[in-house]
Amino acid sequence: MKTDLKEIEQKLHELKPAKLPDDLSAKIENIFENSDHIQNKHTALRKIIWLPKMQKISAVAALLIACVGVFFAILNDQNSSNKTTSSKVSVNKPLKKDQFVPTNAKNVFEGVKDEGLFLSKDKIPYHGVRYQFLDSFLWENEEDGSSIEMKVPSQRLFLVPIKTH
């Protein structure tokens, strides 16, 4: 370090900070003495600081309740699955002999029928077209080769709006 700098450093070391103003000393000492007054404020502050702790406790409680809920939900699921399996066993076993399995389903188009003109409530003309189908379903029993066939006629009416210029 240069001599000049050491000299300045020495000068600074020789200087001592000025004494505190009396009024400031008194004010600060007052802080220490009025402990009761500030202690109350401190307790009030602590109350505010306690808030996160309470939140933590409530969070833990909520977590605990959630855990209990999940536990019971799992327990309930297990019970219901047990029931299902048992019911499957009880229902499926006697049905196995007469079990019919769906093997075929057809949707046969049979024809179109002109239904003429329609006029809606808001006076828009429509052309009615009725499509006719025959839906057939087939079930077979693998055990004895018997089958059930069901034919259901169905029709759908389409209203096609007619453009008028």
Question: Residue 32 or 109: which CB sits closer to other proteins?
Answer: 32
Strands of 100-119's sheet, edge to edge? Answer: 100-119, 125-141, 147-161
CA nearest 162: which of 115, 121, 128, 113?
128
Half-sphere exposure of 148 (CA within 13 A, CB side): 8
- Report residue 34: phi and psi, to 5°: -80, 50
CB of 65 to other proteins, least distance (A): 35
Query: Does residue number 19 form part of the binding site for other proteins (CB under 8 A)?
Result: yes
Q: Does 27 bind other proteins (CB under 8 A)?
A: yes
Q: Per rule CB under 8 A, is residue 24 in the interface with other proteins?
A: yes
Binding residues for other proteins (CB under 8 A): 1-2, 4-5, 8-9, 11-13, 15-21, 24-25, 27-29, 31-33, 35-36, 38-39, 41-42, 45
